[in-house]
Amino acid sequence: MVGGMGFLVSRLAAKLAFFPPRPPTYQLQRLEQDDSRVVALCSSIPADDAYLDVRILKTKRGNKIVTFFLRNPYARLTLLYSHGNAADLGQLYDLFVQLKLNLRVNLVGYDYSGYGASTGKPSEYDTYADIEAVYEYLQTEYGTSQEDLILYGQSVGSGPTLHLASRLPRLRGVVLHSAILSGLRVLCQLKVTLCFDIYKNINKITKVKCPVLVIHGTEDDVVNWFHGNGLWELAREPYEPLWIKGGGHCNLELYPDYIRHLCRFIQEMEKMNTAVRLKKIRQSLPPLASNANTETKSNNRCCKIRCCKIRCCKIRCCRVRFRLKCWGCGRPRCPKFFFCGSCCRLRL
């Protein structure tokens, strides 16, 4: 009974999570019969944009998704954008162009399965397969490494974003825009994570090992502000958050603080080289148990000079217990050991 109820609740949460625009705001025209390159036909997309590559990628779940790659010749980093639940690439093109120019990044956007001209039906695990296909394509075709990649997740897009971020230990950064703690927590305030919940971001955020910027509106009536605040508090390396006073769920881009704060984050990520990242990772790691034990043992000794160890080679032998003085200072404070002159081996 509980399992059936959980399945129904999970399906309800999934239905409330996805609202693909109908009909799609753009159409595709294939350039060649056997090529994955296509042209997007939309009133907001110019036909002569030489810096826009439109591709069709196949996911491991068998769907074909549409990807926009907007190149910036001055970019050092790439931004992988996972959009919200009620938009497609045709509506987001103008925003992508503004982010590409203002942030000086290459920008990659994609439509989830069932969105825009992508095939299939939207679901949690389909979005995971979608973003994995885009990341693999960035690696193989554009040579983008995770060290030069920033993941951006808006609203429901925070789900696939944190899914991928939790699996990439050398990622440059993550941006969470009006993000959710989990699917069911949007419907009701839960204190525990249920097994049939979707987009369990509250569990995955702790696995992200790069700086995390959280942007949220204080008057968001769709995803309450406590979602963004909760993710920021759980992040291992939280960046200074941006709480937009009076901001709602779909209008944060209209506030000047949005692009200003985002630019500062991107600039700091550009300055963060590999050596700095490795140093921060080492500092965040707990001390090794072996080192702690060694320090504890060394404190019990009279000095830091390691005393000799004598091991008996036979199980049954005469054992005479005495103390050995330390070679360094001569004080008899070294640990006790057993000695048998005829059957033991001396190790320095």
- Catalytic center residues: 155, 220, 249
Torsion of CA 199, 180, 15, 258, to 10 degrees: -130
* Contact residues for 5 (Cβ-Cβ < 8 A; gap 6+): none
Q: Are 236 and 204 in contact (CB under 8 A)?
A: no
Task: Return the closest-CA partner of residue 28 out of 76, 73, 86, 89.
Answer: 89
Nearest CA among 233, 173, 164, 229 for reference residue 199: 164
Q: Could you give the CA distance from residue 152 to residue 161 in angstroms, rounded to a whole number?
A: 7
Give the tokens for residue 86: 């009620």
Closest CA to 237 of 267, 288, 277, 177: 277
**Residue carrying the six token digits 């001055």:** 74
CA 199/CA 184 separation, integer angstroms: 9
